[in-house]
Amino acid sequence: MHKLISAQPETAAAALERELLPGALPKHVAVIMDGNGRWGEGHGMPRAYGHRESVEAVRRCVTAADDLGLKHLSLFCFSTENTGRPEDEVESLYKLFDDVLDAETEKLHKKNVRIITTGMLELLPGALSAKFDAAVKRTAANDGLQLNLCVMYSGRSELLAAMERLARAVQSGEFIIERLNERSFRQFLFHPEIPDPDLVIRTSGEMRISNFLLWQMAYSELVFTEVLWPDFCRADFLAALLEYQHRNRRYGKVQ
């Protein structure tokens, strides 16, 4: 993390925001929120403590995106691979999701944020899956920031599910295989209406995409930061946006 940000995050955020070009902000930012467990262990506490502390970073990120008028924010909350973690850690995460939905859904609704989910929520405990569904329904009419919570998500599983839906559509005669191209395939993804992320941020110093939005990230700009997610602040978010604005997006062409 830059010394200015770590020492004076509010001052750094104000300075960074002045540098941003409002007309060149990404429409869709996705975040791989990593480093919670290591943050907890680094503070002499259980990994679950880091997950609890991560909620404030989520609030900061959502608030910044909303303040800037971004259209879409996707957060990688829980992958199907995460179920392979120790049972007590997985259970603590389920409890955390439950508590956060109770505490935050109405607040987000009042801010005109629309919550959607991407993933196989049917694999969650029934009561928790129902609570996510309730949050989606509660905010369905909102037209502000669209907050996409990627829960029990796997990029490969999404592609397999899309191919299965495609095959069934061809089998039933609803889709003609000769129409298949990138645009038509998109309709079989979990949320074809959401634009591809312009910017993907990953925290904690890890430099991989971890099975996240594999189709959608084909031309996303990637920003990696060593900041562990619970420490991720508004200034870090703005710094990533500024880095994005300094990139030259060519989409494989020469400009």
Active site residue 133: no
Q: Is 36 a catalytic residue?
A: no
Per DSSP, the three-state class of 92 is helix
Query: What are the backbone angles phi and psi of residue 140, rounded to the nearest 5°?
Result: -60, -30
Catalytic residue, from 66, 82, 142, 211: name it: 82
**Rg of the chain taking only CA atoms, in angstroms:** 19
Pairing of strands 28-32, 199-202: parallel
Place of tokens 């909102």: 142
Amino acid present at 181: N
Nearest Cα residue to 154 out of 188, 117, 204, 120? 120
Residue 252 phi, psi (nearest 5)? 85, 0
Residue 153: both structure tokens together? 């998500």
Reading phi first (left if > 0) and then psi (alpha if -120 to 50, else beta), residue 4 is in alpha
Contact between 230 and 37 under an 8 Å Cβ cutoff? The reply is no
Q: Which residues are catalytic?
A: 34, 82
